[in-house]
Structure 1
Amino acid sequence: MHQAPGIDHRRIFGIETEYGVSLTGGDGACSAGQVAMAMFHRLVEQHRSTNIYLSNGARLYLDVGSHPEYATAEALTPMDALEQDLAGERIMADLAREACSVLADMLGPGVTVHVFKNNVDAQGHSFGCHENYLLRRQVPLDVVKEQLVPFLVTRQLFAGAGRLGEAGYQLSQRADFLDEAVSSATTRARPMVNTRDEPHADPDRYRRLHVILGDSNRSQTVTWLKLATTHLVLSLIEEEVLSGRPHGFGACALANPGEAMRATSRDMTGRASLDMEGGRVMSALDIQRRYWEGCRAYVDELGDQADTVLPMADEALGLWRSALDALDDGHWEALASWVDWAAKLRLLNAEAARDADIFKARRLDLDYHDVAAGRSYGALVDHGMMDTLVDVNRIREAVRRPPQTTRARLRGDFVSKAEATALSWSCDWTHLVVKGTHRHEVTLMDPFACDPDESYRALSEELDRERTRQDSV
């Protein structure tokens, strides 16, 4: 085995999802901002803020443009991150139901709040689904651009959410809105990977890789797989940087990632020619095959230790390959039970066979992404036409309970205790603060540390004492 000694393949995963909102029914107009504020009405009354941390360790806030946003707690595995992401869907649906009651008082009965887990609205504005990966600081950003971006650009073959655009059906919702491969900008010129250096961890050891080119997925399988496969690719890139042994991903460097992103999105076969650095040409399928082969070889090399790199690595590689084989054979329909763009295209084709009304097709497109009032995605699941990985009981658990293998456990437990007291308190990703008789602050710089230290235990005991005092009054 050629694994470099001392390489730690553990990684922290996170997903930040911006949701679109709208309202139907009732009497009178209501802006997206009013809908969003109605969703946060109870939270503002409780916390006097639209930016809060939850007992499951996650962050919930109202982002620019009236987009409710949910950032998952730190997760140690893609499956943990998936459960946290699904908890976010459940929380948004619950907030939408509460908003209906608030808005019914203003607009009359019959109002319905819609919450869209997608990436583009009717006016052509784009909003994001951002993936976060803890990356070893030794990996230079030019290596990320050369070796990771081609994988991200072409993984839309299985990770795209699908979009019914002006120019026809596309694989990706985000492809038309991305400008650069790697940049510190987020709005002026949207990059595929954002370089703003906020690791929320030891900055000498880590950077937080902020991937913003991905679509928001309804498919549980795709959410898990895009995290799992990206982790595998990052593990090989880190191993190459630390050990000096090349894995061949440098041969996939794209001449123009933006053009390649758009060309891939418009080609369901995966065979469109993409210009590579050095004047070569490859297809999206060719590029994905190269990454799959490298990851397959590395996992085989690790043998019994493969689970230390990624639990369920074989399952991820098998599913990844099945998607590439289906497209290579021209059978996209074989992906419709777990790939969002294929599932939605199947629905749209069935609708078109009954009624070619483009407005009905656009409503169906939106309905697929509606986590609060949509019917299409739920009907697919109920009829066994869409695969799932997490049952409803685990989702309910993830709504209230943080992942137990990262510092999110400490943050979530702190929030639960602090909310039960009358003390003034606050927290963020790395700090917990109680403002009692004396200010008491705990810093959580290690995202892998899930066990309380002496300082955290003292803070927790202070909250317990305050709860006991309140109960005795």
Structure 2
Amino acid sequence: MIGTETEFGIIAPDDPHASPIETSTQAVVAYAGATGLGVNRRTRWDYNAESPLRDVRGFDLRRYRTAPVIDPNALGSANVVTTSGARFYVDHAHPEYSSPETTNAWDAVIWDKAGELVMHTAAQASGEIEDQPTLKIHKNNVDGKGASYGSHENYLYPRSYDTEAVQAALIPHFVTRQIYTGAGRLGLGAESQSPGFQISQRADYIETTVSLETTLNRGIINTRDESHVGDDWARMHVIIGDANLSEYATFLKLGTTALVLDAVGAGADFSDLALYDPVDAVRRISRDLECSAPLRLYGNVERTAVDIQREIRRRVADAVPAEQRHDKDDLVLELWGQVLDDLDRDPMSTADRLDWTAKLSLLTAYRARGLDWDHPTMAVVDIQYHDIDPAKGLYNALVRKGRMRTLVPAGDVAAAAAQAPTDTRAWLRGEVARRFSGELLAANWDTLVLDTPYGASSTTRVLLADPLQGTAGQLQEALADVDDAAGLVRVLGELIPGSLDGVDC
């Protein structure tokens, strides 16, 4: 099971003093109005299921014992559960799109890209509201002034996996995969103190190897233990990655990581790939535009990022039998091998597939005209690459001109902005948002709270601990003639035993 969470950059060009909290709230509320999800009766987020400070290492730093009840219309707290089963809300000072759960990397790319369409719809809808500033939204991770915002990945894996084995595999993978997942960044240092270009937008903000935090002391491995499923599963919450526009980069980022986890489950050992100083290696690789810098491993061994990635790929291919792979996993392995060969031969040969080399190609053209790295025009190119407006963003311009390859059909992405995956519980969440939004009081990834009596309570909580319950195949036919939440509850009680619970909300 795979999903992504992306905090987007947001600005109001006509009002440089506008609060990003206000503009982010404006974006979410405008989207809700434009898509018919309402403003007066919009679903709040059910925080009863949240445990952001529970650590996979066995301790809990919880800040409160009683879950907060937050108005979904409040400034800085606006929240929408979309008809695609996604969540669109304000996280700190950013509009965030959290994709619905998907069963494979291919679908995860589709619903991740759909988030860009959701954001564009929000910006357009906001621009049509009188007395509201025009919004520009960017899919990036830095503001160039010291702030970094996240693009997180989520992977479910069996809790029976050895935690140390998981970390031994993922640390070298996360450190070195940036050679194909980096989004490219103008400026060196957390505050862009020095001119130059680097591969990753997040590299300068990674401070330790393992950490629970996501906004300070960020780790290569994040140990948040909040799976939103049953006790048999754990969630790998990844914060080191960049926000990608490239479909190739996103597919490889998600597909390779899922396969590494599968390889751990199959018994593959990655312990001999331990880097001597992983945090330093993150920065070294990000500044190595030739992808050739030697990295020190334990045992006085030196290998390049490409070499380490090749070895990880080899072990994954050997460990995960073909019959146990998803039908897109072979494509992951194929593209993974191709991009490593190309990066080894000439990194710029990947400019038709990868974000960082595509952006570097654009900037290099200006460098050839005599512009220095710190010239204002370079900063404009850097930020405009990430503009999600199809008519304005440089990434989208490259796609239109045939200079950037895509993977997934554009029609599938457009459909995914409004439709949920059919093979996970996201289908039910999206269907309820589409058909019964007025009766959906609250939601979380594994719960829905409906305004309909159940037992002694005036409301019903639907429990979906199994992410493969609540699918279209299971419920679509039975719900075809249901016209209210009470009917929905009756069907769920019959088809998903144990899914209903009375609750005072």
With the length of structure 2 as denominator, give the TM-score of the two structures: 0.81
Q: Could you list the per-position Cα deviations for residues 190-245 of structure 1 after superposition, in whole angstroms to 9, with x for gaps in the alignment?
A: 11221111111112x110000110000000111111111111111111111xxxxx
Which residue of structure 2 aligns with residue 392 of structure 1? 410
1:464 and 1:324 map into 2 onto residues whose CA distance is 51
Which residue does 1:33 correspond to in 2? 21
Matches within 5 A, 1:158-169: 158-165=180-187, 166-169=194-197
Matched, 1:192 2:192: no
How big is the shift at 1:45? 2.5
- 1:413 positional shift: 1.1
Question: What residue in structure 1 maps to residue 10 of structure 2?
Answer: 21
Question: Per the alignment, in what secondary structure is the counterpart of residue 160 of structure 2?
Answer: coil
Match of 1:88 in 2: 115
Kindly indicate whether residue 469 of structure 2 is the aligned counterpart of residue 449 of structure 1: yes
Given that 2:452 and 2:485 are in contact with CA atoms closer than 8 Å, whether structure 1 keeps it comes out as: no
Equivalent position amino acid for 2:349 in 1 = A
- Contact 2:7/2:97 (<8 A) preserved: yes
CA contact (8 A) 2:152 2:241 kept: yes
In 2, are the aligned partners of 1:150 and 1:257 still within 8 Å (CA)?
Answer: yes
Select 2:304's aligned residue among 283, 299, 306: 283
Counterpart contact for 1:164–1:362, Cα < 8 Å: yes
Q: Please name the residue that 2:176 is paired with.
A: 154
Q: Tell me, yes or no, if the aligned pair for 2:266 and 2:319 is still in contact at 8 Å.
A: no
Q: Which amino acid aligns with 1:398?
A: A
**Contact 1:156/1:265 (<8 A) preserved:** yes
C-alpha displacement at 1:465, in angstroms? 6.5
| Aligned residue identity for 1:362 | A
Distance 1:365 1:328 in 2: 25
Kindly report the root-mean-square deviation, in angstroms, between the aligned alpha carbons of the 2 structures.
2.4
Contact 1:249 1:290 in 2 (8 A): no
Other-structure match for 2:278: 257
Please tell me whether the aligned partners of residues 146 and 254 of structure 1 are also in contact (alpha carbons under 8 angstroms).
no
Q: Distance in 2 between matches of 1:297 and 1:425?
A: 48
Runs (5+) with no aligned partner, structure 2: 33-37, 43-71, 188-193, 489-505
- Tell me, yes or no, if the aligned pair for 2:432 and 2:440 is still in contact at 8 Å: no
8 Å CA contact 1:116–1:366 kept in 2: the answer is yes
Q: Which runs of 5+ in 1 are unaligned?
A: 1-11, 241-246, 468-473
CA 1:327–1:436: 2 relative to 1, 3 Å: closer
Classify the secondary structure of the residue corresponding to 1:449: coil
Identify which of 123, 131, 145 aligns with 1:105. Answer: 131
CA–CA distance in structure 1, aligned partners of residues 449 and 343 of structure 2: 52
Amino acid in the other structure paired with 1:95: A
Structure 1 contact 228–310 (Cα < 8 Å) conserved:
no
Q: Could you tell me which of 132, 140, 158 is aligned with 2:154?
A: 132
2:47 match = none
Does residue 351 (structure 1) correspond to residue 366 (structure 2)? The answer is yes
Which aligned pairs between 1:431-450 and structure 2 lie closer than 5 A? 431-437=447-453, 438-450=458-470
Q: Which is worse superposed, 436-445 or 127-136?
A: 436-445
Within the alignment, does 1:337 sit opposite 2:356 as a pair? no
Q: C-alpha distance in 2, partners of 1:444/1:213?
A: 29
CA contact (8 A) 2:88 2:98 kept: yes
Secondary structure at the aligned position of 1:105 is classed as coil
1:72-118 Cα shifts (integer Å, max 9, x gaps): 0000011111111111100001111122233x6256xxx4x211111
Does 2:185 align with 1:144? Answer: no
* CA distance in 1 between partners of 2:409 and 2:483 (Å): 37
Q: Which amino acid aligns with 2:463?
A: T
TM-score scaled by length of structure 1: 0.86
CA distance in 2, matches of 1:209, 1:120: 23
What is the CA-CA distance between 1:279 and the residue it aligns to?
3.5
- Code of the aligned partner of 1:255: Y
Give, in whole Å, the separation in 2 of the partners of 1:333 and 1:88: 28
Q: How far apart, CA to CA, are the structure 2 residues paired with 1:376 and 1:361? A: 13
Q: Alignment partner for residue 415 of structure 1, among 419, 433, 452?
A: 433
State how far apart, in whole Å, the 2-side matches of 1:106 and 1:172 are: 34
* Matched pairs, number: 433
1:398-448: CA deviation from partner (whole Å, max 9, x where unpaired)? 0111001111111111221212x4x35221111112123432221000012
Task: Give the distance between the partners of 2:480 and 2:449, measured in 1 at CA.
Answer: 9
